[in-house]
Amino acid sequence: MTRINVAVAGASGYAGGEVLRLLLGHPDVTIGALTGGSNAGENFGRLQPHLVPLADRTLEATTPEVLAGHDVVFLGLPHGASAEVAAALGDDVVVIDCGADFRLTDPAAWERFYGSPHAGSWPYGMPELAAQRGQLRGAKRIAVPGCYPTVSTLTAAPAVAAGLVEPNLVVVAASGTSGAGKAAKTNLLGSEVMGNASAYGVGGVHRHTPEIIQNLNLLTEEKVRVSFTPLLVPMPRGILATVTGKLTGPLSTDEAYEVYSQAYADEPFVTVLPQGMWPQTKSVLGSNSVHLQVAVDEEAGQLIAVGAVDNLAKGTGGAAVQCMNLALGLDESAGLTTIGLAP
Amino acid sequence: MTRINVAVAGASGYAGGEVLRLLLGHPDVTIGALTGGSNAGENFGRLQPHLVPLADRTLEATTPEVLAGHDVVFLGLPHGASAEVAAALGDDVVVIDCGADFRLTDPAAWERFYGSPHAGSWPYGMPELAAQRGQLRGAKRIAVPGCYPTVSTLTAAPAVAAGLVEPNLVVVAASGTSGAGKAAKTNLLGSEVMGNASAYGVGGVHRHTPEIIQNLNLLTEEKVRVSFTPLLVPMPRGILATVTGKLTGPLSTDEAYEVYSQAYADEPFVTVLPQGMWPQTKSVLGSNSVHLQVAVDEEAGQLIAVGAVDNLAKGTGGAAVQCMNLALGLDESAGLTTIGLAP
Amino acid sequence: MTRINVAVAGASGYAGGEVLRLLLGHPDVTIGALTGGSNAGENFGRLQPHLVPLADRTLEATTPEVLAGHDVVFLGLPHGASAEVAAALGDDVVVIDCGADFRLTDPAAWERFYGSPHAGSWPYGMPELAAQRGQLRGAKRIAVPGCYPTVSTLTAAPAVAAGLVEPNLVVVAASGTSGAGKAAKTNLLGSEVMGNASAYGVGGVHRHTPEIIQNLNLLTEEKVRVSFTPLLVPMPRGILATVTGKLTGPLSTDEAYEVYSQAYADEPFVTVLPQGMWPQTKSVLGSNSVHLQVAVDEEAGQLIAVGAVDNLAKGTGGAAVQCMNLALGLDESAGLTTIGLAP
Amino acid sequence: MTRINVAVAGASGYAGGEVLRLLLGHPDVTIGALTGGSNAGENFGRLQPHLVPLADRTLEATTPEVLAGHDVVFLGLPHGASAEVAAALGDDVVVIDCGADFRLTDPAAWERFYGSPHAGSWPYGMPELAAQRGQLRGAKRIAVPGCYPTVSTLTAAPAVAAGLVEPNLVVVAASGTSGAGKAAKTNLLGSEVMGNASAYGVGGVHRHTPEIIQNLNLLTEEKVRVSFTPLLVPMPRGILATVTGKLTGPLSTDEAYEVYSQAYADEPFVTVLPQGMWPQTKSVLGSNSVHLQVAVDEEAGQLIAVGAVDNLAKGTGGAAVQCMNLALGLDESAGLTTIGLAP
């Protein structure tokens, strides 16, 4: 087949770098323009030294001219910047946005959490959720889900869809630091984060909260409420999400496990672990896998599900490539792996 | 005053080592016998090289003869071993057990979680909880709380005591690895835990669950239920606990903050951080401090409180020394600090 | 072509797991028997949860019967165990030993460092070294180099071969913990290694020392001497080696850089970084790459070269797969990547 | 006695924070002004949350007026800023500079490495080195040594002073990240440094190189040369330095050990570990200790000494407090400990 010519805008950041890491292993892709902002003009090998085959490239400026002529353009841009770049690209170009701009369908939710006008919404890049896969096939514009919403949604979904729990969930998710991006900030220095666990964005103020709720509302007629608490833990990659929900009736762990196993039986990238074995982020490092497990605490009257993803892989770049595959009618798994890098 | 002669049984482990680290800075204490099990006879400097002043000591066997003649004996022993050792010590000796054996008052709870006969219960070494401080003054036997129960209880207590939340809590606590002890296990190898977050003991099966419930039941007439999910995160020390509870009525974050501030206004080792600033374990590293913060999520209808402790310090050895101080009528803070080691 | 049927003995360890991680991405390989020692009979998914496609396999016992009938057998066994297993396999089977047994050619060196009789030597699996690549083509028995020797040799080789330095080198190499294996040991616990850098095996006693010397002696007529000091640093994977050698004459950094660049110009897996950019292990995480840089310190009269590898990938499993490719006449890079997993 | 009133300029940084952490435990000190630059006016509790007793303080501007009236002023300022601040303080005030400005005695060395005019030199705050202790007693201006020079010098000194090695040393030192300071930089982000070891400043260009040479030149009549290679490893604190030097004659490890033991027999903060036990940074975490060990590699003809310090404690803030004690005629160990925080 003709090779697909792909550009990445924001190629020097973590999302862009991860998209490129995966595309370099994709059988059908040729890497076209690599663009960036303040460091445009620099040697790409110095910016992303792990991407050896691109070491001789130069980062170009993110302009319509540079991005023109590609079949697919991935955007790894700061919030608010995607709409203008996308508008300059033709309708025949597949544009896959790793940022938040087009994820939320509700303008009010967008404005409350982001404080800026709503740019609109695009097909949502989570094939495993309800009817999303169908909408991604042939799509020309795709919004890649946030990292926390990816794992939180997929960890909660079977219980919510099957009505095992009341739609009032407690999600606590421990994340590595790369989710916070590559911009230099004192609180993200290695000296600060190593040996340290902290909470942030507590009390319903984290911007990924409405996205989780939006996703779960597709699965039940009841109005879903979510208390979402993100934690920062000392590792570069990975999110471990715990979802706790009050049982709606008697339920055993075996029964819950069966619901989860059935829910994802046909999903290539979701693994419900052997019963009694709990997810760890290291098992999904660099992979497109989601690892899940569930238990019922009869004393507490709660169901607890735990999920692990690599925030940069399945949580961002892997989902982006998976969406490209669907959009172009390729094998959904092309260029992706279920195998993590451990230990 | 006469110096207090102190022995530590289990001195080569993490709990024993931490008790000794603190006692070496205690103005009134002389370190007596250091005892252990399989490595008795070894040079102590090779076992705990950070405790330089004890480098020339030898680890002795844990026998009644070796432990005799001390004013205070700290026990850092495997579960089930404390009762026999304590029985051999006179009633005038202060025995402070860092293990679990005498924490639970309910024999049924003990047997369900530990699977062995209940040894009984001792005064519970959490001075900040309800009327415990009074019972610790002059006590001859003290059970030091578990690390998770310490931070979980103190993080939840003001909300439970004031009836701000329904007594059906979700506790998710991220812990460093030293809480799992110094025995060699493959899943605790550095290669396994670095770069990794995992869940374990999910579904109400962790042994610290009944202890948290027992503590909170002292604060309300309603029956408390707790869903407790422990996470292992890649750091040697520290626990960050998140407590989420459904609001019993309208409440603002300001009001919740006021309740927390008042509850701990007189506690020397509990700091409710400036509003909006969230706890991090690094701030309490090596200290006897508990750092707390609280928020209300009105959309979700939940209160979220977060607490941080050093699991080995305030979570074990620091609490043990604090209890010794109370038992002997010393300044409760002697040998302890509120200052953490950061960065 | 016919698919190659491959067995891995020691499949539950780190070396075996890494070989399998790579083989699962190899276009020509079918995974046959997975064998182990004490945990034979266990579900493989519980032993290596990151290897999702093998989750339903069972670890078998390491016996001649189980290993029979494969085209290639990889050995990831404790020292001393490989000879017997290899002897039971036919001469037509390609046997690739990730252990040390067949690396050293000098029986005296073997006996001095390992304290057991010398089993012999096999073609040495470092294609980048002198004439080794030719000897690996079509080989039926291959000894995979040690992780420290891999990076130390390739970092020192151009300077030694070109006579830029006196053959009396100082090698200090900082390693992640996985090089020490998966057996549970107290000093390798996460609690011990996180936040900690330590030295070990200092003074010429580390077993990899004679292997480094053996390699460098292929490059010069002078007798090479090496002071090798290994450091353990808190990361699961990666080795960063610094090689310092006294200059034999006037030399600029530019000249040294040119020598290094030329030496590896045709090597697919060795990258001399852009001048002035120093290696970091993260750039080679999970990849088969070696990253190098060199500088001359005129004041000190020394040349300093620095190299980075992933000890499990190019340092063990990646080299093993590279050797298999050479032995079977496949593309040397099949199943391997130069791209690291960062951040 | 009258309490000593102490100010800290640069109190929001890592050096200033560490000085304060130690001063808060000093029996004779009252903490006066806390000053800073861009964040002057902020609540100190938000800047250094681990320093609980100072939580209600406000960071003031670094002006002569604010710093006036203290007995001792510690400076933790960017390079080049100390001279002006010190000049504005009276000659009766003890000024202790944690920065580099007054460490080097040779203007040419200063200008070559720092590229700015030489401000002069002050008594050098390494009491363990040659005759320095005497010069620190009663001193009014003290330059605290750099972190790398502290451990490199003390690790090399006995071998150099006793002529065991040729004065042409190879120093490779692995450091935690806090030595690089608290200013936000992309390459110091947790995402970059965790799971990563890297080299930097290779080839004689690191600014601490001339300071190490200056120190060792006090110990021998020969001209000392040092190849210094710093490594960054993933931990917040600690430096592990390896010093390798060519033997000047036959020497056994026992003999070298005896030389080291004798050299530091009277030093309160230097511990030569039991023979065969190698230093680890964790054992000195937060302490003022230096841990050392030495071995002879007869095959290689080299002596290898290894030392560990906490770069912020003995490497900066601890040395600063030790110097204050000497300057004021206090117990040299006041407010300091030999005990590290492990695990």
- pLDDT, tens digit only, all 343 positions of chain B: 689 999 999 999 999 999 999 999 999 999 999 999 999 999 999 999 999 999 999 999 999 999 999 999 999 999 899 999 999 999 999 999 999 999 999 999 999 999 999 999 999 999 999 889 999 999 999 999 999 999 999 999 999 999 999 999 999 999 999 999 999 999 999 999 999 999 999 999 999 999 999 999 999 999 999 999 999 999 999 999 999 999 999 999 999 999 999 999 999 999 999 999 999 999 999 999 999 999 999 999 999 999 999 999 999 999 999 999 999 999 999 999 999 999 9
Does the beta-carbon distance from C339 to A237 stay under 8 Å?
A: no
Give the closest-approach CA distance of C282 to chain B in angstroms.
Answer: 12
Give the closest-approach CA distance of D242 to chain C in angstroms.
Answer: 8
pLDDT digits 0-9 by tens, D232-281: 999 999 999 999 999 999 999 999 999 999 999 999 999 999 999 999 99
pLDDT digits 0-9 by tens, A154-210: 999 999 999 999 999 999 999 999 999 999 999 999 999 999 999 999 999 999 999
C312 has a chain B CB within 8 A of its CB: no
Give the closest-approach CA distance of B52 to chain A in angstroms.
Answer: 23
pLDDT digits 0-9 by tens, C65-88: 999 999 999 999 998 999 999 999
Give the pLDDT score at B79: 87
Bond preceding residue A107 cis, omega within 30 of 0: no
D280 has a chain B CB within 8 A of its CB: yes
Q: Which fold has domain B148-311?
A: Dihydrodipicolinate Reductase; domain 2 (3.30.360)
Give the pLDDT score at B252: 98
Does the beta-carbon distance from D227 to C304 stay under 8 Å?
A: yes
What does chain B come to in residues? 343
By Cβ distance, the residue of A43, A45, A342 closest to C50 is A342
C183 has a chain B CB within 8 A of its CB: yes
Q: Using CA atoms, how far apart are residues C39 and C17, in angstroms rounded to an integer?
A: 14
Does the beta-carbon distance from A282 to C178 stay under 8 Å?
A: no
Confidence of residue C343 (pLDDT cuts 50, 70, 90): very high
Residues B98, B33 contacting (CB under 8 angstroms): no
pLDDT at D190 over 90: yes
Give the pLDDT score at D1: 61
CA distances from C17 to A290, A291, D260 (A): 20, 19, 44
Does the beta-carbon distance from C297 to D203 stay under 8 Å?
A: yes
Confidence of residue C1 (pLDDT cuts 50, 70, 90): low
Bridge partners, C244 (sequence order): C170, C304
- Which residues in chain B are closer than 8 Å to D282, comparing Cβ atoms? 50
By Cβ distance, the residue of C14, C180, C190 closest to B234 is C190
Structural Rg of chain A based on CA atoms: 20
Tell me what ipTM this predicted complex has.
0.97
Q: In what order do the strands lie in the sheet with D29-36?
A: D60-61, D29-36, D4-9, D72-75, D94-97, D141-143
Q: Using CA atoms, how far apart are residues B74 and D235, in angstroms rounded to an integer?
A: 32
Q: Please give the residue of chain D at the shortest CA–CA distance from C167.
A: D300
| CATH superfamily, with its number, for domain B4-144+314-328 | NAD(P)-binding Rossmann-like Domain (3.40.50.720)
CA distances from A102 to A75, A87, A206, D160 (A): 12, 13, 17, 66
pLDDT at A329 over 80: yes
Longest dimension (CA), chain D: 62
By Cβ distance, the residue of B231, B239, B246 closest to A174 is B231
Interface test with D, best of A194, A198, A237, A282 (most D CBs within 10 A): A194
Give the closest-approach CA distance of B297 to chain C in angstroms.
Answer: 33
Start-to-end C-alpha separation, chain A: 37
Confidence of residue D322 (pLDDT cuts 50, 70, 90): very high
What residue type is assigned to position B244 of the chain? T
B101-108 long-range contacts, Cβ below 8 Å, gap at least 24?
Answer: B101/B143, B102/B141, B102/B143, B103/B143, B103/B145, B103/B146, B103/B149, B103/B211, B104/B210, B104/B211, B104/B214, B105/B214, B106/B210, B106/B214
A225 has a chain B CB within 8 A of its CB: yes
Helices (H) and strands (E) in chain D, counts: 11, 13
Residue D34 tokens, joined: 């806390």
Residue A340 tokens, joined: 């993590």
**Is the Cα dihedral B199, B203, B209, B215 positive or negative?**
positive
Helices within chain C (DSSP H only): 14-23, 44-47, 64-67, 82-87, 107-114, 132-136, 147-161, 190-193, 209-216, 253-263, 318-328
Contact partners of B by the rule of 3+ C-beta pairs under 8 A? A, C, D
Q: Using CA atoms, how far apart are residues D147 and D170, in angstroms rounded to an integer?
A: 17
Does the beta-carbon distance from C244 to D229 stay under 8 Å?
A: yes
By Cβ distance, the residue of D183, D188, D194 closest to A234 is D194
Confidence of residue D79 (pLDDT cuts 50, 70, 90): confident
- Which residues in chain C are closer than 8 Å to B46, comparing Cβ atoms? none
Does the beta-carbon distance from A193 to D190 stay under 8 Å?
A: yes
Q: Please give the residue of chain A at the shortest CA–CA distance from B297.
A: A203
Does the beta-carbon distance from A50 to C340 stay under 8 Å?
A: yes
pLDDT at A1 over 80: no
Does the beta-carbon distance from D195 to A235 stay under 8 Å?
A: yes
pLDDT at C201 over 70: yes
Give the closest-approach CA distance of C145 to chain D in angstroms.
Answer: 22
Bond preceding residue A234 cis, omega within 30 of 0: no
Q: Please give the residue of chain B at the shortest CA–CA distance from C235.
A: B194
pLDDT digits 0-9 by tens, C225-268: 999 999 999 999 999 999 999 999 999 999 999 999 999 999 99
Q: Please give the residue of chain C at the shortest CA–CA distance from A237.
A: C343
Residues C15, C314 contacting (CB under 8 angstroms): no
Residues B215, B245 contacting (CB under 8 angstroms): no
Output DSSP code: residue D223.
P
Does the beta-carbon distance from D50 to B273 stay under 8 Å?
A: no
Q: Using CA atoms, how far apart are residues A138 and A8, in angstroms rounded to an integer?
A: 20
pLDDT digits 0-9 by tens, A63-111: 999 999 999 999 999 989 999 999 999 999 999 999 999 999 999 999 9
Start-to-end C-alpha separation, chain C: 37
Does the beta-carbon distance from D339 to B21 stay under 8 Å?
A: yes
pLDDT at C288 over 90: yes
What residue type is assigned to position D76 of the chain? G
Residues C230, C175 contacting (CB under 8 angstroms): yes
- Which residues in chain D are closer than 8 Å to C189, comparing Cβ atoms? 343
Contact partners of A by the rule of 3+ C-beta pairs under 8 A? B, C, D
Mean pLDDT, residues D291-300 taken together: 98
Does the beta-carbon distance from A236 to D195 stay under 8 Å?
A: yes
Q: Per residue, what are the HEC states of chain A?
A: CCCEEEEEECCCCHHHHHHHHHHCCCCCEEEEEEEECCCCCCEHHHHCCCCHHHCCCECEECCHHHHCCCCEEEECCCCCCHHHHHHCCCCCCEEEECCCCCCCCCHHHHHHHHCCCCCCCCCECCCCCCCHHHHHCCCCEEECCCHHHHHHHHHHHHHHHCCCECCEEEEEEEECHHHHCCCCCHHHEHHHHCCCCEECCCCCCCCCHHHHHHHHCCCCCCCCEEEEEEEECCCCCCEEEEEEEEECCCCCHHHHHHHHHHHCCCCCCEEECCCCCCCEHHHHCCCCCEEEEEEEECCCCEEEEEEEECCCHHHHHHHHHHHHHHHHCCCCCCCCCCCCCCC
Does the beta-carbon distance from C234 to B185 stay under 8 Å?
A: no
Does the beta-carbon distance from A195 to B237 stay under 8 Å?
A: yes
Q: What is the DSSP string of B13-30?
A: SHHHHHHHHHHTT-TTEE
Residues A240, B249 contacting (CB under 8 angstroms): no
Residues C198, C92 contacting (CB under 8 angstroms): no
Give the closest-approach CA distance of A191 to chain D in angstroms.
Answer: 4
Bridge partners, C165 (sequence order): C247
Mean pLDDT, residues A4-10 taken together: 98
Q: Using CA atoms, how far apart are residues D335 and D316, in angstroms rounded to an integer?
A: 14
Specify whether the backbone of B55 is left (phi greater than 0), alpha (psi in -120 to 50) or beta. Answer: alpha
B183 has a chain C CB within 8 A of its CB: yes
Mean pLDDT, residues D85-113 taken together: 96
Residues of chain C with CATH 3.40.50.720: 4-144+314-328
Per DSSP bridges, beta strands B270-272 and B290-297 are: parallel
- Which residues in chain A are closer than 8 Å to D48, comparing Cβ atoms? none
Residues of chain C with CATH 3.30.360.10: 148-311
D27 has a chain B CB within 8 A of its CB: no
A169 φ, ψ (degrees, to nearest 5): -100, 155
Give the closest-approach CA distance of C322 to chain B in angstroms.
Answer: 24
By Cβ distance, the residue of C185, C188, C191 closest to B178 is C191
Neighbours of A41 (CB within 10 A): 10
| 157-176 of D, contacting A, C-beta below 8 A | 176
- Which residues in chain B are closer than 8 Å to A170, comparing Cβ atoms? 170, 172, 244, 302
Mean pLDDT of chain C: 97
Task: Give the residue numbers of D marked as catalytic.
Answer: 147
Give the pLDDT score at A25: 97
Angle between helices A318-328 and A14-23 (to 10 degrees): 50
Reference B193, options A211, C247, A238; nearest CA is A238
Residue B147 annotated among the catalytic residues of the structure: yes
pLDDT digits 0-9 by tens, D114-141: 999 999 999 999 999 988 999 999 999 9
Residues B340, B287 contacting (CB under 8 angstroms): yes
Q: Please give the residue of chain D at the shortest CA–CA distance from B50.
A: D283
